[in-house]
Amino acid sequence: MDCVVTGGAGFIGSNLVDALIDRGDHVTVIDNLSTGRRSNLDQALSCGAGLREADVRDAGEIFEIIAGARPEIVFHLAAQIDVRRSVEDPADDANANVLGTIAVLDAARAVGARRVVNSSTGGGLYGDASTIPTPEDQPIRPLAPYGQSKYAAEGYCELYTRLHGLSTVSLRYGNVYGPRQDPHGEAGVVAIFCGNVVEGRRPTVFGDGRQTRDWVEVSDVVRANLLAADGDVTGPINIGRGRETSVLELISALSDVKDHGRMGEPQFAPDRPGEVRRSCLEVGRARRELGWEARVDVREGLRTVLAGLA
User: What residues are annotated to the active site?
Assistant: 146
How far is it, in rounded angstroms, from Cα 220 to Cα 259?
A: 24
Sign of CA dihedral 160, 162, 163, 164: positive
CA distance 206 to 216: 21
Cα dist from 140 to 97, 170, 187, 211, whole Å: 17, 15, 20, 20
Instruction: Read off the amino acid at residue 126.
Output: Y
Task: Determine which helix (DSSP H) or strand (DSSP E) holds 64, and give its type and residue range.
Answer: helix 59-69
Task: List Cβ neighbours of 184 (8 Å cut-off, separation of 6 or more).
Answer: 11, 35, 81, 82
Q: Is 232 helix (H, G, I), strand (E, B) or coil?
A: coil
d(CA 132, CA 127): 11
Q: Report the Cα–Cα distance between both ends of the chain, in Å, rounded.
A: 36
**Cα dist. 85→91, 94, 171 in Å?**
10, 11, 23
Say if CB 306 and CB 255 are below 8 A apart. Answer: no
